[in-house]
């Protein structure tokens, strides 16, 4: 499920992949339901591709969200990420994932994770698993190829041809 949920740099909230167009993706905001196009120049990241630093191996975001859902009973978090200070955020996240790397996971990362979790819960998304069968499809969708326009042939207009004939530019001498 998380492969279809996207984060787009510069746009607030999370988006669900709706369809593909020429050189773009059509996404729907989980906050207000509006559909917008995104292009190759936008930095788009699938939540299924994100992981969190731990003291051992990195852990997939899907597992972190599952643990957070277990802690909160699949309801919005009791902690308000906008009002919480850094120590409260670290303490809260330590209850969810005790082995997280406190040097590499910043309070802003925890704040964003809690906001994403709340958006997903409010949108009715409680399945945080990653469908392994859709991995190839997700990789194709991530790579939006930008087609370069074909070079335009230089066409001399009659006026330009007449002008070059008068001035001798481009005309053969002899």
Q: Is the entire prediction scored with pTM above 0.75?
A: no
Q: Tell me the backbone φ, ψ of residue 17, rounded to 5 degrees.
A: -70, 125
Report the share of the chain in percent with pLDDT over 90: 66
Q: Does domain 2-142 have CATH number 1.10.10.1650?
A: yes
Judge contact between 51 and 58, C-beta under 8 A: yes
Mean pLDDT of the chain: 82
- What are the structural domain ranges in the chain? 2-142
With 50 as the cut, is the pLDDT of residue 163 above it? no
Q: Which residue has the tokens 């409260």?
A: 88
Res 27 pLDDT > 90 = yes
Answer yes or no: are the C-beta atoms of 47 and 28 closer than 8 Å.
no
Q: Which residue has the tokens 């788009």?
A: 44
Kindly tell me if the per-residue pLDDT of 150 is higher than 50: no
Over residues 7-33, mean pLDDT: 93
The secondary structure of residue 153, as a DSSP letter, is P
The tens digit of pLDDT for each residue in 103-124 reads: 999 999 999 999 999 999 999 9
Q: Mean pLDDT over residues 27-54, rounded?
A: 94
Average pLDDT over residues 58-73: 95
Between the alpha carbon of residue 98 and those of residues 81, 101, 128, the distances in Å are 18, 9, 20
- At 20 the pLDDT is 87
Q: How confident is the model at residue 132 (pLDDT cuts 50, 70, 90)?
A: low
Task: Please state which of the ranges 3-12, 66-75, 138-147 shows the lowest mean pLDDT.
Answer: 138-147
Task: Look at residue 83 and tell me whether its pLDDT is greater than 60.
Answer: yes
């Amino acid at each position: 499920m998380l492969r279809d949920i996207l984060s787009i740099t510069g746009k607030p909230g999370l988006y669900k992949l709706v369809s593909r167009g020429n050189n773009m993706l059509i996404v729907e905001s989980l906050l207000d339901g509006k559909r917008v196009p995104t292009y190759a120049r936008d930095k788009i990241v699938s939540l299924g591709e994100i992981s969190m630093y731990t003291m051992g191996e990195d852990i997939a975001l899907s597992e972190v969200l599952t643990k957070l859902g277990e802690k909160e009973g699949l309801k919005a978090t009791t902690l308000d990420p906008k009002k919480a200070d850094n120590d409260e955020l670290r303490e809260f996240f330590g209850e969810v994932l005790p082995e997280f790397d406190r040097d590499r996971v910043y309070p802003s990362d925890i704040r964003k994770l809690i906001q994403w979790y709340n958006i997903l819960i409010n949108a009715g998304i409680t399945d945080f698993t990653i469908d392994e069968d859709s991995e190839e499809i997700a990789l194709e969708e991530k790579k939006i190829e930008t087609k370069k326009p074909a070079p335009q042939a230089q066409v001399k207009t009659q006026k330009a041809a007449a002008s070059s004939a008068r001035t001798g530019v481009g005309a053969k001498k002899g």
